[in-house]
Amino acid sequence: MPHASPRRPRRTRTALATAAVVGLSLALGGCAADSGGASEITFLISKPEAIPFFRDLVKTFNAEQSDVHVTLDSASNLSAGFLRGNPPDVGLLNYNEEMARFMERGALSDLGDMPEAKRIRPDVQDLVDQYATYPGRTSVLPYSVAAASVIYNVKMFEDNGVEIPTTWDELIAACDTFQAAGITPIYSTFKEPWSVGQGLFDYTVGGSIDVSGFYDELSAEGTDVGPSSTVSFEKTLKAPVEKMVKLASYTNQDAASRSYGDGNVAFAKGEAAMYMQGPWALGEIAKTNPDLELGTFPLPVTDDPDDLKVRVNLDLALWVPEVGTDKAAARAFIGYLMQKQIMDDYNAAFLGFGTTTDAAPATDPRILGMQKYYDDGRFYQGASKFIPLSIPSDNYMQSIVTGSDVDSTLSRLDADWARLALRG
């Protein structure tokens, strides 16, 4: 999945960096001097467009103190590093079901005693625990949350007298209004399966059910998932997936052949009123039409506005491996990265939402429509992200929106889940 394209980042204040490294020296005491030089640690960052931002921070950090030297790494294979017993000393990566396997095996150290851990919002920390936990450890510290919902063309809504919908019926009425005016209600890019999974599928499911609760129940069913189980993909997700199909009928006729890049350009040119993409698309749209006024709102899929929620994922999360070469140095660097101003600068530059209780609110008008829902904890992690990559769920959703039968496709997903549970 693409990440949010950055706006121009603000320089981290020199005074801030200096204060941080003074604290670092105090925290490490004389260990660097005793060892005859600076502690050498590696820092792995997985987000390509964020590399310049963190490269500058690493340069500042290394220049302002001599106890720890950080080497930025953006190319190493994470799984290979853990298998060889030589993982990076600090990781800052997207956190998902695949990453969680390192936590549940005890490969990540406990950071729960760090002051920075106490600043994390409990409901945001819970996003980590929804994937996996390790007894007695806080192994991952959320750094930034990407919130996604419906992107809409503000002027197109205003010109056609359409209010932001807060119920399913209002959404369908809005689609009908745009269609009657000769405007494509929703621009879709079904050529790439992931764009269906993270968009229409995640939005309709997440707005309808308790996503993490559903997967807890599904995991409890294990190999019994199927026609006779209490919960299943076919039983539980049929209604929201049928709504996904309904919304697919309001998309551009060539959706099956349109890619993510095509969608960004088309939406920038005003070819539709709504677009089911995350904040990563906003910067791409701006490359074609920087003056286009855009907003966001959660997709309504029930008749109760209180059900409105936004889709989130842990865009970046920090961790230190259990077998790290110098945990004290790694933790000191984490303390530096997690200063309020540095985190706020990152989120402002990359359209993220803060993970801490003292985080600054979003200021970009394109994502402000999600702020109140995020503040209130009205969010969910995408249903597609709880499914192991060995099950091609995005491809299944792609087949449904392009004409496959809902029941039989969801039944196949149930069978895949049961087979995986049997092997596990």
The sign of the torsion formed by the CA atoms of 226, 308, 264, 96 equals negative
- What range defines the domain where residue 86 resides? 14-146+313-367
| 29 and 132 both lie in a single domain | yes
Judged against a pLDDT cut of 70, whether residue 423 lies above it is answered with no
pLDDT for 401 equals 98
* Of residues 227 and 8, more confidently modeled: 227
| 163 and 39 both lie in a single domain | no
Which tokens sit at 104? 């549940």
| 199 and 263 both lie in a single domain | yes
The secondary structure of 6-17 as a DSSP string is P-PPPPPPHHHH
| Band of residue 35 on the pLDDT scale cut at 50, 70, 90 | very low
| Band of residue 82 on the pLDDT scale cut at 50, 70, 90 | confident
The pLDDT tens digits of the residues spanning 246-259 come to 999 999 999 999 99
Mean pLDDT (whole number) for 185-198: 97
DSSP 404: -
Judged against a pLDDT cut of 90, whether residue 336 lies above it is answered with yes
| 121 and 134 both lie in a single domain | yes
Which tokens sit at 409? 């496709």
| Band of residue 22 on the pLDDT scale cut at 50, 70, 90 | very low
* Of residues 23 and 93, more confidently modeled: 93
Q: Tell me, what CATH number does 275's domain have?
A: 3.40.190.10
Give the residue from 129, 415, 382 showing the smallest Cα distance to 240: 382
pLDDT for 125 equals 94
**8 Å CB contact between 315 and 128:** no
Judged against a pLDDT cut of 90, whether residue 36 lies above it is answered with no
CB atoms within 10 A of CB 74: 14
Residues 15-44: b if buried by 16+ CB within 10 A, e if exposed = ebbeebbeebbeebeeebeeeeebbebbbb
The sign of the torsion formed by the CA atoms of 252, 258, 261, 266 equals negative
**8 Å CB contact between 290 and 203:** no
Amino acid identity, residue 142? Answer: P
State what percent of residues in the chain have pLDDT above 90.
79
* Of residues 210 and 83, more confidently modeled: 210
- CA distances 270 to 263, 295, 404, Å, are 11, 14, 30
The secondary structure of 133-187 as a DSSP string is --TT----EEEEEEEEEEEEEHHHHHHTTPPPP-SHHHHHHHHHHHHHTT--SEE
**8 Å CB contact between 242 and 167:** no
The pLDDT tens digits of the residues spanning 89-123 come to 999 998 876 677 888 888 899 999 999 999 999 99
Instruction: Give the HSE-up count for residue 91: Cα atoms under 13 Å, Cβ half-sphere.
Output: 31
- CA distances 163 to 64, 78, 152, 160, Å, are 52, 46, 11, 9
Count: domains in the chain: 2
Cα 328 off chain centre by: 29
Amino acid identity, residue 78? Answer: L
| 301 and 385 both lie in a single domain | yes
| 280 and 396 both lie in a single domain | yes
Which tokens sit at 60? 């500042």
**Among 29-43, 79-93, 196-210, 251-265, whose mean pLDDT is lowest?**
29-43
**8 Å CB contact between 92 and 43:** yes
pLDDT for 26 equals 40
The sign of the torsion formed by the CA atoms of 278, 282, 284, 288 equals positive
End residue of a domain, out of 367, 395, 410: 367
Report the chain's mean pLDDT, rounded to a whole number.
90
For residue 7, tell me if it sits in a domain: no
| 152 and 285 both lie in a single domain | yes
How far is the C-alpha of 201 from the C-alpha of 291, rounded, in Å? 30
- CA distances 293 to 151, 290, 304, Å, are 10, 8, 28
Mean pLDDT (whole number) for 221-225: 93
Give the residue from 44, 77, 11 showing the smallest Cα distance to 330: 44
pLDDT for 319 equals 94
pLDDT for 97 equals 64
For residue 374, tell me if it sits in a domain: no
Place of tokens 């990265």: 337
**Among 24-33, 118-127, 156-165, 361-370, whose mean pLDDT is lowest?**
24-33
Give the residue from 387, 274, 347, 410 showing the smallest Cα distance to 53: 347
Alpha-carbon dihedral angle through residues 318, 324, 326, 329, given to the nearest 10 degrees: -10
Judged against a pLDDT cut of 90, whether residue 24 lies above it is answered with no
Mean pLDDT (whole number) for 184-189: 98
| 327 and 399 both lie in a single domain | no
| 318 and 289 both lie in a single domain | no
For residue 261, tell me if it sits in a domain: yes
pLDDT for 98 equals 65
pLDDT for 15 equals 40
pLDDT for 421 equals 83
Apex 355 CA angle, 351 and 361, nearest 5 = 55
The pLDDT tens digits of the residues spanning 285-334 come to 999 999 999 999 999 999 999 999 999 999 999 999 998 889 999 999 99
Mean pLDDT (whole number) for 123-130: 92
| Band of residue 374 on the pLDDT scale cut at 50, 70, 90 | very high
The pLDDT tens digits of the residues spanning 265-282 come to 999 999 999 999 999 999
Mean pLDDT (whole number) for 44-57: 94
| 403 and 265 both lie in a single domain | yes
pLDDT for 30 equals 43
| 95 and 124 both lie in a single domain | yes
Give the residue from 407, 379, 169, 367 showing the smallest Cα distance to 281: 367
| 86 and 169 both lie in a single domain | no
